[in-house]
Amino acid sequence: MPEIWKILLLFSVGTITGFINVMAGGGSTLILPLLIFFGLDASVANGTNRLGLLSQNIFGILSFKNENVSQFKLSLKMALFTLPGAIIGAFFATKISNDVFEKMLGIVMIGIVITMMVPNSKKYINKKITGKVPWLIYPVMFALGFYGGFIQVGIGFLLMISLHRVLKMNMLYVNFHKVFIVMIYTIPALIIFAITGNINWIYGISLASGTGLGAWWSAKVAVRKGEKVIKMVLTIAILLMSLKLLGVF
């Protein structure tokens, strides 16, 4: 495939994944296999994806703020607890072999498929957190920071589940906090990938342009609109990609 078509395809897929990631999550399960298919080593694909994530989350936050949905103080407090784990996770991600990373990615994606099949709880509290935050959220944020720095795929779902179960907040604010937290821990992870030479900047910039556009519009759409269709398509795509990475076909 000519290079220009790869760049345009990354922009297009990036727009879709930026939209999906802000509304729900799981977009990296489309981007990482695509980057690997384009010939990038797994670690370089992992690093290049971080450019798209940073752009996506910056534009998502700006769009949420534009829609008067924000709670920056709590978001920052939780995000800071992800930083040590994200730095450690990103460091280890640059040290493992392509084969090991791809096998781990395949296993993770199967796990995500399973979680996506579980129906959403309808018992969301229709308000944001205004009182004292349960202490459990902070060790959970550290663990999720490590996972996000190391693999990233599926972190959106894990954050949404954690914020819902521990903080009991409604989906709109869950998504805002998720986007803000991922933006904060993506910064040191991206720096580590850049320092170690694990970023393809041309692909990354094209991807970032698309994810930023998709994220901006996603924050302006009701969180649950079209969710069932998106999850059905993602479930099929993730399952096929995970089986491929695990060498089943």
**pLDDT, tens only, 147-196:** 888 877 778 777 877 887 788 777 778 888 989 999 998 999 999 999 99
Residue 114 CB burial class (10 angstroms; 0-12, 13-18, ≥19): exposed
Q: Which of 74-83, 166-175, 198-207, 226-235 has the lowest mean pLDDT?
A: 226-235
Tokens 């993770």 sit at which residue? 108
Average pLDDT score over the chain = 82
Banded model confidence at residue 124, pLDDT cuts 50, 70, 90? very low
- List helix spans (H) across the chain: 3-23, 28-37, 42-66, 72-93, 98-117, 137-150, 155-162, 171-195, 201-218, 227-245
pLDDT at 135: 86
Task: Give whole-number Cα distances, 115 to 111, 112, 233, 240, in Å.
Answer: 6, 5, 14, 16
Read off the amino acid at residue 204: G
**pLDDT, tens only, 67-112:** 888 889 899 999 999 999 999 998 888 888 777 777 777 777 677 6
- Using alpha carbons, select from 111, 150, 171 the residue that is nearest to residue 159: 171
pLDDT at 203: 97
pLDDT at 242: 62
CA Rg value for the chain? 17
